[in-house]
């Protein structure tokens, strides 16, 4: 009876107190809200309804709201949400205020008869100091509407609390408050996510130290232009997204493929916004090392035609120029031919650098992201959505490379206790000033559509998608260059010293010629390399669900999914020697090709300044210039490297052709109940997958092979959530998961490097990673937009992939070049991954003004692992590659009606990058690095704001070494980038 009275009272308040007009009452929205605490359920309802709901803090204490699911009138949905509670909605000003029943009479006398706020009005979260429930409700002027950062954090919390598994979420406004250039950088704010950077941009990511993760857009498989079918995240703008959801404990309905987590990039939907939304921004972009001002901009238009149909289109584009400086040792070599202690006898097992290479990268970059959505609800029970996303990254690099190739002709060697030749003087070194033309052109397209029907207790959803990734990537040190060497009679010696600890080791050159005079060089060979890909993915799934009344079993779900992935990648190389080009290029008939006879190449009379401001004694002014590889190829009659061309040095053997089909089926049960005053909910499920894989490759330029493999797995999963109170939740989860190896690892291809006499080969019989995992989190939501959470996790991993290196005779290559050191992935032994996470965020609303506008977000992750990987030099076990033991993010913000300030510092400790053999100096480690980013905003009017954002403010150095820190192999410093402009929304 009490529930009936409450329901009638809420209905009367809506019908009489709010006096909704017919058009407002007819607003139909799509709802999917589980039973939960009012503190999280009300903001979630407000977001889905597109209305403002105001509530004082203690009004929602101890209150549970009901399930709301389906396409419903906003007023009717709100009645369902509040039925059985003592909360009553009252129209106050231009919002809905929630009051206790004792206050309804007082509110009704002053309530406005204005309609509900338009769809898309910001969803305010319950907050602010408590009001005594017996007192009259405050007037509209006393209500506080939270927007901006705090509201974004509260919305993220609401989604996290309502999830049926362990997740972390960042929402669109939270993403937009930091100067993230791409999705990877936006993800770096999430607890447990660590990213790696390429040329200053976020590129790849690990979650809890694990690189085997699944990436989706709107729940659909994202096949990109990467060598293994992976997405090129540096090309995806975060401005098209509404949220990023990182799912750390799987449920049976989720597609398999993640050992770490599944990342779902959700784009905006038109029927979740106002009837008409127009938003955009334009910014200048200054890169300090390039000393150039480019621009970036974005725009979005969303239009709803009534409550049934809406379309949305968004675009983000940038045109910038950047400059990077790097040092590269080209690896290290173990040698027995250097006297390390000055006794006149060569010492065994010492390590020397292969070269000193100074690089200056000048890059012109264009990035384009386009997204479109059409959303149609022809009836209250049916919804149809069509999505399209397109990304294009075009990066033209022109790089200066100043190389000094070392040998074993060393005197005065200085060796540390690790056997590293940290200083020495080398006679007869080779000096090579090389200019590279290194373009990158990556495109990806994802088309998807879904049909969802829901009526009463039943629901059915069909979804399908098509993904296409295509591109070529002449990354740093690849694509096209003329390999020039000093002319006959020109000799040089070099001294280096790595002991200074600077980003660039000391280097001095003593030569009988001017190393910066281009006339002193001649052509040795041409290096013409390309990395091309064309990948496709097809995905279809059918899901069915039914709400039950079977005791604690609240609903059951079942479904199946089919996926096909087609990978085609190749690394063709054409390496003609100078002698083969004389007939076409030797204009003066002197039997050599000098630099003035090389088409497309132009050396500059103005030297390029290398690593300005860095400490050390090394060459600062390098022989610069430019190169046009199209003109070079035309001038010598060289065709673009074709992987099917058997006449070039590396052709068919580099082709990776893989096709993979996966069928998955699942059943899942969701449950909920109470034990005393403790509420619980969760799910149990079982998924079965069968994967069939076929890889076609070339064992030699003319011999092909086809290898097939088939894998089947049963994957159980369970998630349990226990609410000890309205603010304290314990989550427990367990599952078996599988993560397939990268498709480029399972190909039958062979890619040699004829300079270093190394190569790589795929393994068609490589098995997927398998793991049993357990997770537990404790979540305390102690205040609005505030929480403290802790998590522990453990994964027992089977079939770790191990890369082995063997010296082989390779038919078709060894006859000309000799034996190769071939690296190949192999099925390994078992291992474990374990760790914990801590996350804290707090909006300091309890402080006196203006300090009540402050807030913080902090998170820390610790990960450890045991693997079968062995250090070839020390014999010790190695951690999982890509795993940083420690990582954390520190974010502070201030926001009021006029100003918004935010700064973020993200750090990850050193990690193993790749496993190497003893002969090549050991394993590669990436040193720990932190990055500081910041943003500021001034609200000029409710519709216009000035923005300024900074990336890499401290210009932190990227640093890599082999085996031990003195064996420095790579350093880089990228631009500090400042963006400034104006943003608007209507």
For residue 27, what pLDDT is reported?
A: 57
Residues 30, 912: Cα–Cα separation, whole Å: 47
For residue 606, what pLDDT is reported?
A: 83
Q: pLDDT class for 117, splitting at 50, 70, 90?
A: very low
Alpha-carbon dihedral 961, 967, 970, 971, rounded to 10 degrees: 90
Closest CA to 921 of 870, 961, 971: 961
Question: How many CB atoms are closer than 10 A to CB 782?
Answer: 10
For residue 476, what pLDDT is reported?
A: 63
Quick one: DSSP state of residue 272? G
Q: Which helix (H) or strand (E) segment is 268 a member of?
A: none
Residues 755, 758: Cα–Cα separation, whole Å: 8
For residue 554, what pLDDT is reported?
A: 92
**Strand 53-54 and strand 95-100: pairing?**
parallel
pLDDT by residue (tens digit) across 464-484?
999 999 998 876 657 899 999
Region for 93 from its dihedrals, namely left if φ exceeds 0, alpha if ψ lies in -120 to 50, beta otherwise: left
pLDDT by residue (tens digit) across 762-810?
888 888 888 999 999 999 999 888 999 999 999 998 877 777 766 778 7
For residue 18, what pLDDT is reported?
A: 39
Q: Which helix (H) or strand (E) segment is 886 a member of?
A: strand 886-895
Question: Would you call 229 exposed, middle or buried from its count of C-beta atoms within 10 A (0-12, 13-18, 19+)?
Answer: buried
235, 182 contact by CB (below 8 A)? yes
pLDDT by residue (tens digit) across 736-775?
999 887 777 888 777 777 655 677 888 888 888 889 999 9
* pLDDT above 70: residue 731: yes
Q: Tokens for 325?
A: 């400086």
* Whole-Å CA distances, 933 to 150, 206, 494: 19, 20, 40
Q: Tokens for 150?
A: 């705090």
Upper half-sphere CA count for residue 284 (Cβ side, 13 Å): 9
Upper half-sphere CA count for residue 577 (Cβ side, 13 Å): 3
**Strand 355-379 and strand 332-335: pairing?**
unpaired
Q: pLDDT class for 59, splitting at 50, 70, 90?
A: confident
Residues 262, 243: Cα–Cα separation, whole Å: 14
Closest CA to 246 of 269, 197, 213, 293: 213
For residue 756, what pLDDT is reported?
A: 59
Residue the block writes with tokens 């660590």 = 194
Closest CA to 957 of 619, 475, 615, 622: 615
Top mean-pLDDT range of 47-51, 354-358, 528-532, 756-760 = 354-358
Q: Tokens for 601?
A: 């190449």
347, 339 contact by CB (below 8 A)? yes
**Radius of gyration over every alpha carbon of the chain, rounded to an integer in angstroms:** 31
For residue 43, what pLDDT is reported?
A: 80
Question: How many CB atoms are closer than 10 A to CB 662?
Answer: 21
Helix (H, G, I), strand (E, B) or coil at 220: strand
* pLDDT above 80: residue 124: no
For residue 699, what pLDDT is reported?
A: 74
Residues in contact with 358: Cβ distance below 8 Å, sequence separation at least 6, in sequence order: 325, 326, 327, 400, 401, 402, 504, 610, 611, 618, 619, 622
Peptide bond into 554 cis (omega under 30): no
pLDDT by residue (tens digit) across 582-617?
999 999 999 999 999 999 999 987 888 999 999 999
Mean pLDDT calculated for residue range 78-84: 81
> What average pLDDT does the structure give for the chain?
85
Q: Which of 36-50, 211-225, 672-686 has the lowest mean pLDDT?
A: 36-50
For residue 241, what pLDDT is reported?
A: 84
Q: Which of 113-122, 185-194, 956-965, 975-984 has the lowest mean pLDDT?
A: 113-122
**692 or 134, greater pLDDT:** 692
φ, ψ (nearest 5 deg) of residue 839: -140, 135
Q: pLDDT class for 113, splitting at 50, 70, 90?
A: very low
pLDDT by residue (tens digit) across 228-276?
777 777 777 777 888 889 999 999 999 998 888 999 999 989 998 888 9
| Strands of the 801-808 sheet, one edge to the other | 750-753, 758-761, 820-827, 801-808
pLDDT by residue (tens digit) across 161-220?
888 899 998 887 666 555 666 778 888 888 988 888 878 787 788 888 888 889 899 999
Largest Cα separation within the chain, whole Å, is 106
Residues 924, 968: Cα–Cα separation, whole Å: 10
**506 or 67, greater pLDDT:** 506
For residue 53, what pLDDT is reported?
A: 81
Residues 14, 618: Cα–Cα separation, whole Å: 77
Rounded to 10 deg, the angle between the 38-49 and 74-82 helix axes is 170
pLDDT by residue (tens digit) across 524-572?
999 998 889 999 999 999 999 999 988 899 999 999 999 999 999 998 9
**697 or 614, greater pLDDT:** 614
670, 685 contact by CB (below 8 A)? no
Question: Would you call 941 exposed, middle or buried from its count of C-beta atoms within 10 A (0-12, 13-18, 19+)?
Answer: exposed
For residue 831, what pLDDT is reported?
A: 87
Question: How many CB atoms are closer than 10 A to CB 57?
Answer: 16
First to last CA, the chain: 47
Name the β-bridge partners of 726. none
Angle at 801 between CA 799 and CA 806, to 5 degrees: 130
Question: How many angstroms from the chain centroid is the CA of residue 70?
Answer: 33
Question: How many CB atoms are closer than 10 A to CB 677?
Answer: 8
Residues 556, 683: Cα–Cα separation, whole Å: 9
166, 720 contact by CB (below 8 A)? no
User: Concatenated DSSP letters for 964-978?
Assistant: STTSEEEEEE---EE
* pLDDT above 60: residue 107: no
Q: Which of 56-65, 280-289, 337-346 has the lowest mean pLDDT?
A: 56-65
Helix (H, G, I), strand (E, B) or coil at 883: coil
Upper half-sphere CA count for residue 122 (Cβ side, 13 Å): 16
Q: pLDDT class for 133, splitting at 50, 70, 90?
A: very low
Residues 932, 636: Cα–Cα separation, whole Å: 48
Q: Tokens for 216?
A: 């989706």
φ, ψ (nearest 5 deg) of residue 176: -70, -15
Q: pLDDT class for 950, splitting at 50, 70, 90?
A: very high
Q: Which helix (H) or strand (E) segment is 323 a member of?
A: strand 309-328
Alpha-carbon dihedral 110, 115, 118, 124, rounded to 10 degrees: 30
Burial 490-513 (b: 16+ CB within 10 A, else e): bebbbbbbbeeebbbbbbebeeeb
Q: pLDDT class for 492, splitting at 50, 70, 90?
A: very high
953, 907 contact by CB (below 8 A)? no
**147 or 986, greater pLDDT:** 986
Question: Would you call 364 exposed, middle or buried from its count of C-beta atoms within 10 A (0-12, 13-18, 19+)?
Answer: middle
For residue 178, what pLDDT is reported?
A: 57
For residue 197, what pLDDT is reported?
A: 81
Q: Tokens for 691?
A: 């994967």
* Whole-Å CA distances, 47 to 114, 242, 274, 513: 20, 12, 12, 72
User: Concatenated DSSP letters for 417-446?
Assistant: TTSBEEEEEEEEEEEEEEEEEEEEEEEEEE
Q: Tokens for 133?
A: 């429930």
335, 350 contact by CB (below 8 A)? yes
**69 or 622, greater pLDDT:** 622
pTM: predicted TM-score of the whole model, two decimal places: 0.84
- Strands (E) in 809-849, as ranges, are 820-827, 831-843
Residues 299, 278: Cα–Cα separation, whole Å: 8
Residues 63, 98: Cα–Cα separation, whole Å: 12
Name the β-bridge partners of 902. 893, 935
932, 290 contact by CB (below 8 A)? no
Residues in contact with 187: Cβ distance below 8 Å, sequence separation at least 6, in sequence order: 193, 195, 202, 205, 244, 246, 263
239, 314 contact by CB (below 8 A)? yes
pLDDT by residue (tens digit) across 901-941?
999 999 999 999 888 878 888 888 999 999 999 999 999 99
């Amino acid at each position: 009876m009490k529930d009936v009275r409450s329901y009638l009272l809420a209905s009367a308040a809506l019908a009489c107190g709010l006096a909704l007009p017919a058009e407002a009452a007819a607003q139909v929205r799509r709802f999917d809200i589980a039973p939960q605490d009012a503190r999280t359920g009300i903001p979630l309802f407000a977001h889905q309804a597109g209305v403002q709901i105001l509530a004082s803090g203690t009004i929602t204490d101890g209150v549970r709201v009901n399930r709301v699911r389906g396409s419903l009138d906003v007023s009717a949905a709100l009645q369902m949400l509040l039925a059985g509670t003592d909360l009553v909605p009252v129209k106050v000003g231009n919002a809905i205020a929630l009051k206790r029943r004792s206050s309804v009479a007082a509110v009704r006398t002053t309530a406005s008869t204005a309609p509900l706020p338009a769809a898309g009005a910001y969803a305010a979260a319950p907050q602010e100091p408590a009001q005594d429930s017996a007192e009259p409700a405050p007037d509209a002027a006393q209500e506080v509407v939270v927007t901006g950062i705090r509201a974004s954090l509260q919305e993220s919390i609401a989604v996290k609390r309502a999830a049926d598994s362990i997740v972390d979420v960042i929402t669109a406004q939270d993403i937009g408050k930091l100067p993230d250039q791409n999705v990877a950088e936006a993800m770096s704010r999430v607890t447990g996510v660590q990213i790696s950077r390429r040329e200053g941009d976020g590129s790849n990511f690990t979650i809890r130290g694990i690189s085997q993760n699944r990436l989706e857009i709107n729940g659909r498989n994202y096949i990109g232009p990467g060598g293994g079918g992976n997405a090129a995240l540096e090309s995806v703008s975060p401005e098209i997204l509404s949220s990023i959801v990182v799912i750390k404990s799987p449920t049976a309905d989720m597609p398999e493929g993640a050992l770490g987590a599944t990342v779902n990039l959700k784009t905006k939907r038109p029927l979740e916004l106002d009837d008409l939304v127009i938003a955009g921004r334009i910014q200048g972009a200054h890169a300090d090392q390039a000393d150039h001002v480019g621009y970036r901009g974005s725009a979005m238009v969303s239009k709803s035609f009534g409550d049934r149909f809406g379309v949305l289109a968004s675009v983000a584009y940038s045109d910038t120029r950047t400059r990077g400086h790097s040092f590269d040792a080209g690896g290290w070599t173990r040698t027995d031919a250097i006297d390390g202690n000055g006794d006149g006898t060569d010492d065994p097992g010492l390590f020397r650098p292969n070269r000193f290479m100074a690089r200056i990268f000048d890059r012109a970059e264009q990035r384009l992201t386009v997204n479109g959505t059409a959303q149609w609800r022809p009836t209250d029970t049916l919804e149809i959505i069509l999505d399209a996303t397109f990304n294009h990254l075009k990066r033209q690099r022109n790089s200066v490379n100043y190389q000094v190739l070392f040998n074993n002709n060393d005197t005065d060697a200085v060796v540390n206790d690790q056997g590293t030749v940290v200083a020495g003087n080398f006679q007869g070194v080779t000096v090579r000033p090389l200019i590279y033309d290194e373009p990158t052109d990556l495109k990806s397209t994802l088309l998807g559509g879904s049909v969802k029907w829901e009526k009463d207790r039943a629901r059915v959803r069909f979804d399908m998608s098509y993904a296409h990734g295509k591109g070529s990537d002449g990354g740093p040190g690849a694509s096209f260059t003329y390999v020039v060497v000093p002319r006959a009679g020109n000799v040089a010696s070099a001294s280096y010293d790595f002991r200074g600890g600077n980003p660039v080791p000391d280097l001095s050159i003593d030569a009988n010629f001017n190393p910066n005079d281009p006339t002193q060089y001649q052509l040795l060979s041409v290096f013409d390399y390309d990395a091309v890909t064309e990948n496709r993915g097809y995905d279809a799934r059918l899901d069915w669900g039914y709400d039950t009344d079977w005791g604690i079993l609240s609903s059951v779900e079942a479904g199946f999914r089919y996926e096909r992935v087609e990978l085609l990648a190749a690394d063709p190389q054409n390496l003609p020697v100078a002698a083969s080009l004389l007939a076409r290029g030797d204009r003066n008939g002197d039997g050599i090709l000098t630099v003035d006879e090389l088409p497309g190449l132009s050396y500059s009379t103005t030297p390029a300044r290398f690593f300005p401001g860095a400490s050390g004694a090394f060459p600062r002014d390098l022989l610069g210039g430019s190169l046009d590889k199209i003109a070079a190829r035309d001038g010598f009659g060289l065709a673009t490297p074709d992987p099917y061309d058997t006449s070039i040095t590396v052709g068919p053997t580099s082709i990776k052709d893989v096709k993979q089909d996966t069928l998955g089926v699942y059943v899942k049960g969701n449950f909920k109940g109470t034990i005393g005053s403790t509420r619980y909910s969760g799910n149990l499920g079982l998924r079965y997958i069968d994967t069939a894989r076929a890889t076609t490759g070339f064992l030699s330029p003319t011999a092909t092979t086809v290898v097939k493999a088939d894998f089947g797995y049963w994957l159980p999963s369970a998630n349990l959530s226990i609410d000890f109170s309205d603010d304290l939740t314990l989550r427990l989860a367990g599952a078996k998961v599988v993560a397939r190896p990268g498709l480029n690892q399972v190909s039958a291809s062979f890619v040699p490097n004829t300079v270093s006499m190394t190569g790589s080969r795929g393994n068609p019989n490589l098995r997927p990673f398998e793991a049993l995992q357990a997770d537990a989190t404790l979540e305390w939501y102690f205040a609005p937009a505030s929480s403290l959470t802790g998590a522990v996790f453990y994964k027992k991993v089977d079939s770790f992939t191990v890369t082995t290196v063997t010296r082989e005779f390779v038919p078709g290559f060894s006859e000309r070049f000799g034996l190769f050191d071939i690296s190949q992935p192999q099925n390994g032994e078992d291992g474990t991954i374990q760790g914990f996470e801590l996350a804290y965020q707090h909006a300091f609303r309890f402080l006196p003004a203006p300090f009540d506008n402050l807030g913080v977000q902090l998170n820390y992750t610790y990960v450890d692992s045991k693997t079968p990987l062995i250090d070839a030099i020390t014999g010790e076990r190695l951690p999982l590659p890509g795993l940083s033991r420690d990582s954390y993010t520190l974010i502070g913000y201030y926001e009021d009606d006029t100003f918004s300030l935010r700064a973020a510092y993200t750090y990850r400790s050193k990690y193993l990058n790749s496993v190497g053999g003893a002969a090549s100096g050991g394993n590669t480690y990436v040193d720990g690095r932190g990055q500081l980013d910041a943003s500021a905003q001034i609200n000029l009017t409710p519709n216009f704001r000035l923005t300024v954002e900074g990336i890499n403010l401290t210009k932190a150095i990227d640093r890599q070494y082999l085996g031990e820190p003195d064996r420095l192999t790579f350093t880089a410093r990228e631009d500090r980038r400042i963006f400034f402009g104006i943003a608007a929304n209507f």
